[in-house]
Structure 1
């Protein structure tokens, strides 16, 4: 079972429906026990970084996330979920993140229209199972005002919006994507299918 973490911030049902479309059952969960029992875990999210961390902490999810990641359980962060995976964010002050990857969440520089909203391309930096069947320069749907500044070692894909930023981060089993795969048509569903395939393995 793929567990979609419900911490009060995110369009959870659309993510769940996306997994259902590609043949992988996913359940929206409200407590850490279900996360610990899952074969794959998804951390979605829309909203403010600081509020999200407070909600995760209050619901007891943070230790469960660390536990499943340490076990090698496939883990996927989407949109704000990606940003939460990094060390800190500059959104409305400085906030500590989960620290699964090194890097900082920053606001787009002045002069750029925010949020960065609409279709934009990714430039693949590393081969990764999460991008199986996804051509370089493929377009996905973005909605965000802050971006991840991460190192080359964890950056799987970059996107240009005035500046280059990390649009997909990850390692062997832990991944984060800035865009919304559930809103990105066929290729977005392919990414969810790729993640589901990692869970079934």
Structure 2
């Protein structure tokens, strides 16, 4: 099986690569269109700022490529946010795979960004096969995807939001499975083995 991690102007790719190696998967990190198109599974991770990441994707033609993919695709953190329609972070038009908006957490006295462990609830997908309701995952983010019909997991931090979404062959998670121990490893395995 060929697994590709999309290389673009956003951090955190190496930790995903190492997490996949721990489950016996040797992934390719690339921005080459042919390599990405020919993959069996595509992972679109990222940490960083939305507008500069979108500019890089557009400059490389990766924006149109990602939207055209037909194999299973998994967005992680910034990758999830960029798969949505719009981000409040620097008023950024994103890929539009999911018709949701990405919003800044409201100021309610809780620390922003959310950094650390929080639970995921209302699990609704084979992506979470073998994962317990209320499992704890590791989060680092200031922006969130609003609660929506595409949600396959929800989390509460200042308000309830979509911590994972699914539409057709596209899956995305706000948390970092690669930093979430055995539960995160199980989610990556589920994605690789078949969702």
- Using the size of structure 1 for normalisation, the TM-score is 0.92
Secondary structure of 2:51's partner? helix
Distance, in Å, in 1 between the alignment partners of 2:131 and 2:171 is 15
The answer to whether residue 92 in structure 2 is matched with residue 133 in structure 1 is: no
* Residues 129 and 194 in structure 1, CA contact (< 8 A), matched pair in contact too: yes
**Equivalent position of 2:153 in the other structure:** 157
Distance, in Å, in 1 between the alignment partners of 2:63 and 2:122 is 30
Distance, in Å, in 2 between the alignment partners of 1:32 and 1:165 is 33
* Residues 9 and 52 in structure 2, CA contact (< 8 A), matched pair in contact too: no
* Residues 32 and 59 in structure 1, CA contact (< 8 A), matched pair in contact too: no
Give 2:174's match in structure 1, choosing from 172, 178, 182: 178
**Equivalent position of 1:52 in the other structure:** 53
Aligned residues: 193
Distance, in Å, in 2 between the alignment partners of 1:125 and 1:74 is 19
Q: Which runs of 5+ in 2 are unaligned?
A: none
Instruction: Give the ranges of 4+ consecutive aligned residues of structure 1 lying more than 4 Å apart after TM superposition.
Output: none
Question: Can you list the C-alpha shifts for 1:32-71, whole angstroms capped at 9, x where unaligned?
Answer: 2211111111111111111111011112211211221xx2
CA RMSD of the aligned region, Å?
1.3
Distance, in Å, in 1 between the alignment partners of 2:80 and 2:166 is 10
Q: Give the superposition deviation at 1:125.
A: 4.4
